[in-house]
Amino acid sequence: MTFLNTFFLTDLYSGSPVEKVDIARRLYAVFFDQLPQIPQLSSTLITLQHHAMNLNVHMQSMGLGQLCSRCAAGPGGGCCSAYMADNCDVIQILLNLLMDVRVTFDTKSTVSCGFLGPSGCLFHIKPIFCLNYNCTHILRGAASQDLSVLYRFANTVLSGQTDAEAMLLSALPDLIKNGLISEDGLKSGT
Ligand code: SF4
Ligand code: SF4
């Protein structure tokens, strides 16, 4: 991890959303090829995607899609504001790319988060702040049983997300050592 601390961690967890998306795309090109060589990563991603889907289905069943659409269209808008996009990070974006999510960032979106599409957040795997966020509209309006299922599903996603992130980070030193990834290459795209 010392090697990663020195050379890479700043690039993975800071910078603008556009820079993070660019670096994640370059890492994706390497990780996609290396996927079969990284033990259990594919199965971890499949399980994580399944848990994220369960969470999404439950959120829809609670009517959060309509609630958030109404809220976002109202005065002051919803919680997915432009500055919230900074909560993304390279590894979280990479997880989505590895799940075939078409990640785009709308740089013209100065009010809403640039990752917010017409059907809501485009990520299957959201930034952890977003995953854990439940506003007062949700907390006051939802049945306690629905909320406890929501927390349980979100915790399951969080746990799987943390595991998958750790796998990707622990694979990086070998990829760096083997010359497949360099910091200059990540930043310049060469
Ligand atoms: S989570 Fe809450 S604040 Fe955010 S858009 Fe939905 S209802 Fe609005
Ligand atoms: S949930 Fe998605 S769209 Fe909303 S702020 Fe987070 S990343 Fe942006």
Best mutation site among 16, 86, 113 for ligand 2, i.e. most ligand atoms within 8 A of its Cβ? 113
In a domain, 189, yes or no: no
Number of domains in the chain: 1
pLDDT category of residue 10 using cuts at 50, 70 and 90: confident
Shortest-distance Cα residue to atom 1 of ligand 1: 135
Specify whether the CB–CB gap between 129 and 120 falls below 8 A: no
Q: Report how far ligand 1's centroid is from the alpha carbon of 70 (Å).
A: 9
Bridge-based pairing state of the strands 116-117 and 120-121: antiparallel
- Mean pLDDT of the chain, nearest integer: 89
Taking only the tens place, the pLDDT of each residue in 74-112 is 887 789 999 999 999 999 999 999 999 999 999 998 888
pTM: 0.91
For 170, the domain range is 2-177
Does the beta carbon of 62 sit less than 6 angstroms from any atom of ligand 1?
no
Give the ligand whose atoms come closest to the C-alpha of residue 121: 2
Query: Taking residues 10-24, what's their average pLDDT?
Result: 92
pLDDT value, residue 182: 76
In a domain, 91, yes or no: yes
Does the beta carbon of 135 sit less than 6 angstroms from any atom of ligand 1?
yes
Q: Which of 100, 81, 97 is nearest to 21 (CA)?
A: 97
pLDDT at 159 over 80: yes
Taking only the tens place, the pLDDT of each residue in 60-79 is 999 988 888 788 878 877 89
In a domain, 185, yes or no: no
In a domain, 146, yes or no: yes
Across the chain, where does the E strand assignment appear?
116-117, 120-121
In a domain, 58, yes or no: yes
- The terminus-to-terminus CA distance of the chain in angstroms comes to 24
In a domain, 187, yes or no: no
pLDDT value, residue 173: 85
Specify whether the CB–CB gap between 71 and 137 falls below 8 A: yes
